[in-house]
Structure formats: C-alpha cells, structure tokens
Amino acid sequence: MKIALINENSQAGKNSMICESLKKIVEPMGHEVFNYGMYTAEDETQLTYVMCGLLSAILLNSKAADYVVTGCGTGEGAMLACNSFPGVLCGHIVDVEDAYMFAQINDGNAIAMPFAKGFGWGAELHLQYVFEKLFGCESGGGYPKERVIPEQRNKKILDEVKKITHTDIMTILKNIDQDFLKTAISGEKFQEYFFANCQVAEIAEYLRGVLNA
C-alpha cells in the first residue's frame, strides 16, 4: 500500500515526528510512505487544511496513493475538507479505538488527526498505537463481528451515494481556482512522488499544465 502523509501549515513543525512514527509501524508491514509535507513551518509552499483535502483527492483519485494520513490542529477541518471531495472517505481519528473501528466498520481511505489538541507527552507513542491498529490488519472486517454484513452493505451504499452527490475529480480540477490548485500541488516533493506513481494519465497531464502555466 502507498500511504501519503500531508501536513497543513499550523502543524508543519511536527511533520518529521509524524512521518517517523508512521514509517516505524507501516514499513515492516510492507507499506510505503510518501511524505508530501509540509516539512517545516517555513516551507515556501504553505498548505491550508482545505488544500490538504484537495491534495488528498488528487492522490487518491489518480491512484498515486492508496491511503492518506493528514490532519490539522483539531483534525476536524482536514476531515471536512477531505470529505468534500469525490473518492475520499476520511475518518476523524482521535484514539486507538477510533482507528480500529474506522478501519473495520467504515473501511475508508483517509484519516484526519488532531495534531495540536491533546497532543502532548508521549505523542509519538500515541501515533504509533493508532497507526498499528489502523494498518495492522485488513480493513472492512466489521466490528463487532455480528455486525459485519450490515456494515459492509452500508459502506457500499455510502460509496454509491458519494458518486451521485460529488462532482468528478476532473471537473473539480478544471473549475477550482487555478492559483489555489497550483499552490496545493507545488510542494517540494509533489512532482517527484506524484508523477512517478500517478496511474490516471488525464489527471497527470492536466496538473503538468497547471504547474507549467
């Protein structure tokens, strides 16, 4: 699995710790982490939580990433931004129980975490425990086990509803403010990681045009 990490500007200073905690847990499982930044609060490209949502949608819809780990101060803004886009099912993950039940019940492809609220002593241990429960077993298995059939049925229904209620990603990319889009994809490592992993030529071609404009 290709896991993308995205940090917005208010919590960019914690990127290194979050990335190291994520890699420590998921790389032994065979997953690969791509750190899209922000890397420091002083990065030239300043990502807002709304841009994190847009970038998450680009990565997931283009299949450049299979899963996105993001967040903000409370995690709420990043979660709302992610879920406003097609092809993204993002959970607000505060603790280990959230991580496990979101994976098993909702079977999403992105999480938004609070990287300021309640983020104190032992924060790196908390992150590791969350990532262990989130990625340590196959998702969509249901919880509790007697609820597995209705939960899987509801997940399929939600996926179909989102197809109806959300505009497709190419329409969004063409109609969203182009300066906003260009900023969101102008991070230091975006071109290196994205174009090597993108599996949807139409999205790649359009974003190259935006970057070169």
pLDDT at 114: 98
Angle 72-205-63 (CA atoms, 0-180°, nearest 5)? 50
Distance CA 193, CA 197 (A): 6
CATH of residue 194: 3.40.1400.10
User: Within 13 A of 79's CA, how many CA atoms are on the CB side?
Assistant: 15
Residue-wise pLDDT tens digits, 82-120: 999 999 999 999 999 999 999 999 999 999 999 999 999
Number of helical H runs and strand E runs in the chain: 10, 5
pLDDT at 149: 95
pLDDT at 119: 92
Residue-wise pLDDT tens digits, 160-200: 999 999 999 999 999 999 999 999 999 999 999 999 999 99
The DSSP output letter for 114 is E
Q: Is 122's pLDDT higher than 90?
A: yes
Residue 24's domain comprises 2-212
Q: How many domains does the chain have?
A: 1
Confidence of residue 145 (pLDDT cuts 50, 70, 90): confident
Mean pLDDT on 21-25 = 98
Mean pLDDT on 21-35 = 98
Confidence of residue 147 (pLDDT cuts 50, 70, 90): very high
Look-up of token digits 């992993």: 197
Distance CA 131, CA 193 (A): 22
Distance CA 106, CA 44 (A): 36
